[in-house]
Amino acid sequence: MTNTIRRAFAALLTLTCLGALSAQAATGVQGPVPPAFQNRLMVGLFEEAGQNWMRDSAVPWDARYRYFTKGWADNWGYGAHDGSWAASFFTETKAQGYVPVVTYYQLFGEAGGGEGETLAKLKNASTMRSYFEDVKLLLQRAKTFGGPVIVHVEPDAVGILQSQTASNPNAYAAIAASGMPELAGMPNTVAGWSLAFLQLRKAVGANNVVLGLHISAWASGKDIAFNSLTDPLQPEVDTVVNFLKPLGLGTNVTGATYDVLVGDPLDRDADFYRLTQGADHTWDMSDTASLTSRSYNRYAEWLRLWNQTTGKRWVLWQIPLGNFNHLNINNSGGARQGYKDNRTEYFFGASGDAHRRKFANVGVVALMFGAGAGGQSSYQNDQGTDGQPYLKQRAGTFLNAGGLLLPAAGTTLPPPGGGGSTDGGTVDAGTPPVDAGTDGGTRPDGGTDGGVDGGTRPDAGTDAGTGTSDAGTPADTSKYGFESSAQGWSASGAALSAVSTTTAKAYAGARSLAVPFNGTSGKGTVAVANAAVYSGKTVTFRFWLPTGSKITGVQPYALEGAAANWRWTGNWIAVGSLQAGAWNNITVKLPSGSTSPLYQLGVEFQTTGTWKGTAYLDAVIW
Burial of residue 259, with CB atoms counted within 10 A of its CB: 0-12 exposed, 13-18 middle, 19 or more buried: buried
| Under 8 Å between Cβ of 470 and 507 | yes
Q: Report CA-CA distances (Å) from 503 to 249, 477, 514, 554, 617.
A: 55, 17, 9, 23, 12
What's the CA angle centered on 395, arms 390 and 396, to 5 degrees? 100
Q: Which residues of the chain have pLDDT under 70?
A: 1-26, 418-477
CA dihedral 360, 364, 370, 372 (to 10 degrees): -130
Report domain 489-621's class: mainly beta
DSSP notation for 471-519:
-------SSB--SSS-TT-EEESTTB---EEESS--SSSS-EEEEEEES
Q: Which residues pair with 368 in a beta bridge?
A: 44
Buried b / exposed e over 73-87, threshold 16 CB at 10 Å, is bbbeeeeeeebebbb
Helices within 253-388 (DSSP H only) = 270-277, 296-310, 343-348, 352-361
- The letter for the amino acid at 112 is G
Query: Which bin fits 438, alpha (ψ -120 to 50), beta or left (φ > 0)?
Result: alpha
Buried b / exposed e over 160-173, threshold 16 CB at 10 Å, is bbbbbbebebebbb
The per-residue pLDDT for range 539-584, each reduced to its tens digit, is 999 999 999 999 988 999 998 887 787 788 899 898 889 999 999 9
- The letter for the amino acid at 99 is V
**Total Cβ atoms within 10 A of residue 488:** 11
**pLDDT value at residue 606:** 83
* Distance in Å from the first CA to the final CA of the chain: 71
**pLDDT value at residue 568:** 81
CA 99 – CA 96 distance, rounded (Å): 9
**pLDDT value at residue 18:** 43
**pLDDT value at residue 476:** 60
The per-residue pLDDT for range 381-416, each reduced to its tens digit, is 999 999 999 999 999 999 999 999 999 999 999 999
Segments making up each domain of the chain, as ranges: 35-403, 489-621
Q: Which residues pair with 616 in a beta bridge?
A: 514, 544
Does the reported pTM lie above 0.75? no
**pLDDT value at residue 425:** 40
Q: Which residues pair with 544 in a beta bridge?
A: 583, 616
CATH number of 35-403: 3.20.20.80
